Amino acid sequence: VVAAMAAERALAMATCTAPVNIAVIKYWGKRDTDLILPINSSLSVTLHQDQLKTTTTAAASRDFTEDRLWLNGKEADVGNPRVQACLREVRRLARKRRGGNEDVATLSLSYKIHIASENNFPTAAGLASSAAGYACLVSALARLYGVEEELSEVARQGSGSACRSMFGGFVQWQRGERPDGTDSLALQVAPETHWPELRVLVLVVSGDKKPVGSTAGMQTSVETSPLLKHRAEVVVPERLAQMMRHIRERDFEGFGQLAMRDSNQFHATCLDTFPPIFYLTDLSRHIIALAHRYNAHHGHTKVAYTFDAGPNAVIFALADTVAEFVEVVRRSFPPATNGDQFVRGLPVGSAALSQELVAAVVTEPVPGAVQYILHTKPGPGPQLVDDPSQHLLGADGLPRSRA
C-alpha cells in the first residue's frame, strides 16, 4: 500500500507533434454539425513535420485549480466546445479502458489539465492549421491518459480535417453511414514512403485573412448549393475511387489532373453558395493559369495546384520538376530583396530556364506577390516526443519561456 501511495502521480505530462494535411479530394459540408460528420468522404496527403508541425504538451496535476490552454504562448479559451469535445472523448476512452478500476498508480481523470500548443511555422502565414492542432491535442491527451485506441474519430470532433492528420502518407476520411459517427474515421491509403518522388510546394502569398471560416462557409454551402449536393452524391464517390487508384499506381498525370479538378470544383461550390464565398483571389487565378501554361509547355502534367479556404497555393510535383518550377515561380513573382529566404524547407537545386519556356510560361510578372515557397514532402503521422526537455510546460505546469 505504501508503495502504491508512492506511485501516485501528482503531475503527469505528455508531448506529441502532429502534421498538417492537404486534401486532394476535398471535404466541404457536414451532415451533422455537432459530431462533425461530412456529406462526402475526402482524401489527403499528410505533409512532413520537419517543415510544418504542431507540438502540444498536456499535463494533469492534483495541484491545478482550473483547466488552462495556451496557443503559441498566449492563453486561450479552454472552454472552446471543440477542445472540450476532444477532452471528453479521450477521457471517456480512458475510463472504458480502466474498466472502472481507478487504482492510485493511474492518473486521476478528475485532475485539472494544462495544455500548451505551438506551431513551428508563423501563424500569420495562414498555414495555422486546425487539423494539425486538434490531431496534436488528441494525441497528447491520449498519451497522458494511456489511451491506445484508434483516435481519428475523436480528432474529427475537434475539426473534420484533423482526423486525416492522425495518419501519415495518403489518408482517406471515410464519411461513414451511422448517425452516431462511429464509422466516420480516417484510414491510411498508403504510407509516406509509398511515393518517394512526390514533393509539395506551399506558395505562401503575401497578405492574408480568409473572408469566411471553413466551418461557417461549408454550412452555408450545404444549405444553398445544389452543386455541392451533386458533388457529394455523384462526383466524389467516383473521384475517390479514381484517386486511390492513381495513388496506388503512383500515376502523377492522373493524380495531378484530379487534384486540380477537385480543387476547382470545391471553389465552384463556393461560388454556387448563396451569398457566394470567394477564397480564390486574382493571385490564385494567376497561379492556376501559370500551372496550366507550364504543363501545356511540357505537354503533360508536371505540376498540380490545390487551394483550401485561404489564399495560399499548394503545388504537387515530382522531385525532378521542383528546381525548374521554383525558378518559374521566382521569375513570375520576383521576390522583394529584403534578405528573407524565398525558398524554405527541403533544399532546391538551381535550374536554368530556356528562352522558349520563359516566353511561353512567364507572362506579366507580379513582384512580391508570393512571400516565400516552402518545399516539403509527404510525411508521417503524429509522433510522441520522448525528451522531457522538449515539453512546452515546465514542472510548475506553466508555459516555459520561449527563446
Question: Using CB under 6 A, which of 46, 54, 130, 221 touches ligand DP6?
Answer: 130
Distance CA 368, CA 203 (A): 12
**Count, residues near ligand DP6 per rule CB under 6 A:** 14
Q: Order the strands of the 74-76 sheet from edge to edge.
A: 74-76, 68-71, 112-119, 53-61, 11-19, 383-384
Distance CA 1, CA 105 (A): 11
The amino acid that residue 51 corresponds to is: Q
Give the 3-state secondary structure of 139-190. Answer: HHHHHHHCCCCCCHHHHCCCCHHHHHHHCCCEEEECCCCCCCCCCCCEEEEE
Q: In whole angstroms, how close is the CB of 163 to ligand DP6 at the nearest point?
A: 9
- For residues 350-379, which are near ligand DP6 according to CB under 6 A? none
Considering the rule CB under 6 A, would residue 161 count as an interface residue with ligand DP6? yes
Q: In whole angstroms, how close is the CB of 52 to ligand DP6 at the nearest point?
A: 14
- If the CB atoms of residues 61 and 214 are measured against ligand DP6, the closer one turns out to be 214
Question: Using CB under 6 A, which of 128, 309, 357, 373 touches ligand DP6?
Answer: 309
The position carrying cell 487551394 is 307
Instruction: From 119-127, 142-150, 157-165, 246-254, give the range in contact with ligand DP6 by CB under 6 A.
Output: 157-165
Instruction: Report the alpha-carbon angle 65-66-71, nearest 5.
Output: 135
Considering the rule CB under 6 A, would residue 159 count as an interface residue with ligand DP6? yes
Q: How many CA atoms lie within 13 A of 105 on its CB side?
A: 6
Q: In whole angstroms, how close is the CB of 240 to ligand DP6 at the nearest point?
A: 12
Instruction: From 11-19, 45-53, 155-163, 175-183, give the range in contact with ligand DP6 by CB under 6 A.
Output: 155-163
Sign of CA dihedral 19, 170, 262, 372: positive
Q: In whole angstroms, how close is the CB of 292 to ligand DP6 at the nearest point?
A: 21
Sign of CA dihedral 335, 340, 346, 347: positive
Q: In whole angstroms, how close is the CB of 222 to ligand DP6 at the nearest point?
A: 11
Tell me which residue of 102, 111, 163 sits closest to 137, measured CA to CA: 163
Q: In whole angstroms, how close is the CB of 227 to ligand DP6 at the nearest point?
A: 15
Question: Using CB under 6 A, which of 26, 143, 377, 391 touches ligand DP6?
Answer: 26
Look at phi and psi of residue 255 and say left if phi exceeds 0, alpha if psi is from -120 to 50, else beta.
Answer: alpha
Question: Using CB under 6 A, which of 27, 70, 167, 305 touches ligand DP6?
Answer: 27
Asked whether the beta carbons of 172 and 248 are under 8 A apart, the reply is no
Instruction: From 70-78, 158-166, 239-247, 251-259, give the range in contact with ligand DP6 by CB under 6 A.
Output: 158-166
Q: In whole angstroms, how close is the CB of 308 to ligand DP6 at the nearest point?
A: 4
Considering the rule CB under 6 A, would residue 23 count as an interface residue with ligand DP6? yes
- If the CB atoms of residues 59 and 90 are measured against ligand DP6, the closer one turns out to be 90
Considering the rule CB under 6 A, would residue 128 count as an interface residue with ligand DP6? no
Considering the rule CB under 6 A, would residue 42 count as an interface residue with ligand DP6? yes
Tell me which residue of 37, 35, 53, 56 sits closest to 392, measured CA to CA: 56
- DSSP single-letter state for residue 107: P
Residues forming the site for ligand DP6 (CB under 6 A): 23, 26-28, 36, 42, 130, 159-161, 214-215, 308-309
